[in-house]
Structures are given as C-alpha cells and as structure tokens.
Copies of this chain bind each other. A is one copy, B any other.
Amino acid sequence: MKLLHKVKRHIADNELFDKQSKLLVTVSGGVDSVVMLNVLSELGFNLSIAHCNFKLRGVESDKDENFVRNLAMHMNLPIYVQEFDTEIYARNHKIGIQEAARNLRYAWFFELIDENGLDFINVAHNANDNTETVLFNLSRGAGLEGMRGIVAKNNRVVRPLLSCSREEIMIYADNHGLTFRNDSSNDSVKYSRNRIRHHVIPEMEKINPSLHTTILRNCGVAQKLTNFVEQCMKHEIEKLIVKQTPGCILTIDIGTLMHMENNTLVLYYILREFNYTYSDCQDVISCLKGEPGKIFEADGYKLLKDREYLFLKQLGNEVTIQEYHFTLDNYPDDWPAELKLELIETNNPLDILTPELSVAYVDADRISGSFILRKWQKGDRFKP
C-alpha cells in the first residue's frame, strides 16, 4: 500500500498523466515492469501492454514473451508483441547490442502509440537505476548534465516507478504474490553498471541509508538547474554570435567575448557540441588578445582567430577558396563584406588621400575589368 501511494504521488507531483490518458505499459516480464503494470492497474488507469522479443537469449526470450502474453490475458488487457533481429540491426548499423535494442524498441513504441491513439509510454526505471546512472555518469565525467540522472517525464516517455527503490518494488511483488521472470542478461551484459550496483552503491548506502532518495532529490534540482543555465546561456550566447559568414558554422565577436564575465564557460557551451573541451576554450580565451591567424582544431572542426571574429568551420569538406567578382555598379548577391567601391574624380589625386585604416585608394586610370575579393593567400603582399 505504501508503494501504491508513493507512485500515485510521484505521478501527480511530476504531472506524468491523468485518468483520461491512454497508457502503453512496456513489460519485459522482469519484476520492475510486472510491478509497474500491477500498480498502474490497481490505480485504475487505462492500459495496453507492449513486449519486445529481442531474440537474444534463445528459448528464454520466447518464454518471457509467453509469460507476458499470459499476464495480459489474465488481466484482460490489449497486448502488442514485436520480434526484432537485434544482432543484424547492430551489425548493419555498427553499434552495440544494447544500443541497437534501445533504438529498435523506442522506434516501435512511438509507432505503437501513434498508430493506436495512445498517449504515454511507461517505462519501469526505479530509484536505484537512477543512482546507478548518476554514478556511472560521474565516473565517466558527464558534468551537470550527467547529474540530472533519469527524468520522470521526457516528452511522451514517463517513469511512474522512478521514486521507488528496488527494495520497495521487491517487497510489493512479494506482498502481492506476483510472479516475474529473471533477466539472465542482467548480470553479464551491463558490466560497468553491475559494478556500480553490486559494489559501489552498497558501500555508499552505509554512509547514507537514504542514498537513492537523496540522489533523486539532487537530480530534480540538477534538472531545473540545467534548464536555468541553458536559459541564461542562451542570452549570453546571443550577444556573441554575429551574422553568418559564408563557409562558417559560427562567427563569434571577439570584443564582446573578451569583456564578458565567465567567458570561458560561455564559449565552452557554444563549442562543446563541436567537440571542444573546456581546456581548449581556456586556450582560445588566453589567445584573444594575440595576433590573428591562430587556429584551434577539434575533432572535425577548426576555429580560426581572426582580427575581430572567431570563425568556426568544418574540417575536411572545405570549399575551394571563394572569390567574389565585383565592379563599381555590380556586387554579387551573396556579397559578404562591408567593403564598398567608390569612384572619386579629381585633378589633384594627392589632395584627397586622407590616411584611414579601413580605406584603400587605387588609381582608377591604371585598372580595368572587375575586382576580385578573396581571402589572403600565402604569397599575397599589400603595401598601403
């Protein structure tokens, strides 16, 4: 009864769904999903079952399928079952079996709810899964994003058991005489996760017996904090990004960046999706005042420090150096510069020569045809 109450409150607190919602309950046959199915049924929700047969454990996989089919029959619930060629898919897409199984099942779940007018996909992650995810992310260095753990509601995927510990789920199954299937893949496939589950977490629970609840609460705040940071970052980033330059993914204003508080962090939030590390961004920031021309490479990208701007470009498929032909009356449509050509008629050329850094004077009598604008290339010389 305690678990029932906990789930009910979790559903309300996180606004997962309501009594009108049509729920797809994904049931593997393991204790978590069997308890989820029973709890949602006891709470009187409108349910359909989905079961995936990944054909990865031979006859065991088929026994799981039969178990879930029987469960659906006894509970008088509609059931959808799908078989997958997980190994072939993994091989074809050059990904691991776990990732293949995840891609396949979520693609199918979304298809199912779209085709059958259902609202939410219920997945049986619990508080222990969340703690494992946080510790796993921490050990790999996933930062604030990793500290968010598993979210209770992500678009149309919901997790009604997320606030319950594995122990509470086992006790519920026991008290209600529920039968379930043991997933034999659990112990072998998820090597790192099992290390965390069986060795790390029990020790940390000795320090804090309410570890899962504590971490779950932290994750909630980390989720809100991530939103807040992203919202603030958006404002900061908008100040930095200037109008698009042809051939560039991003153009960043150096002057603004130099005078911005927390500029390394903001730059990192811009560049991290292009494989730059925080340390790379520290290097960039420390070179802002230096000579132009410096290039910072990351996997697949390069960042050029010019005079006023940082230009981010893709590596590899670089376009041949673009040329823009222009005359006094004719600029091309994609004219990228603020450069303008002006004809000054005079009998005393030397009189009009006022020295300015952004102006060059050329004798119109000595040239013909069109001008060409292109980037500086090795060997080019210019004496103002």
Contact surface of A with B, Cβ cutoff 8 Å: 134-136, 138-144, 147, 192, 195-196, 199-200, 203-204, 206-208, 211, 214-215, 217-218, 220-222, 224-225, 227-229, 231-232, 261-262, 264-266, 268, 278-279
Contacts and interface: CB of A to CB of B under 8 A. Distances in A.
Contact of A147 (B147, B203, B261): B147
Given A139-B208, A147-B147, A228-B265, 6 more contacts: A140-B208, A141-B208, A199-B203, A200-B200, A221-B278, A231-B262
Contact of A139 (B140, B214, B265): B214
A147 B217 CA distance: 15
A219 B168 CA distance: 34
B211 A204 contact: no
| Count of identical protomers in the assembly | 2
Nearest to A282: B13
- Among A142, A147, A222, A279, which residue has the most Cβ atoms of chain B within 10 A? A147
13 contacts: A138-B138, A139-B204, A141-B214, A147-B147, A192-B207, A195-B206, A217-B278, A221-B278, A224-B262, A225-B229, A228-B229, A229-B232, A231-B262
A203 B207 contact: no
A207 B262 contact: no
Contacts of A135: 138, 204
A195 to B, nearest CB: 6
Nearest to A198: B203
B143 A221 contact: yes
A203 B196 contact: yes
Identify which of A136, A200, A222 gathers the most chain B CB atoms within 10 Å of its CB: A200
Contacts of A232: 228-229, 232
A116 to B, nearest CB: 34
B136 A207 contact: yes
B200 A195 contact: no
A207 to B, nearest CB: 5
A143 B139 CA distance: 16
Nearest to A272: B221
Q: Which 6 A-B pairs have the closest CB atoms?
A: A141-B214, A232-B232, A199-B203, A224-B265, A192-B207, A228-B262
A264 B262 CA distance: 24
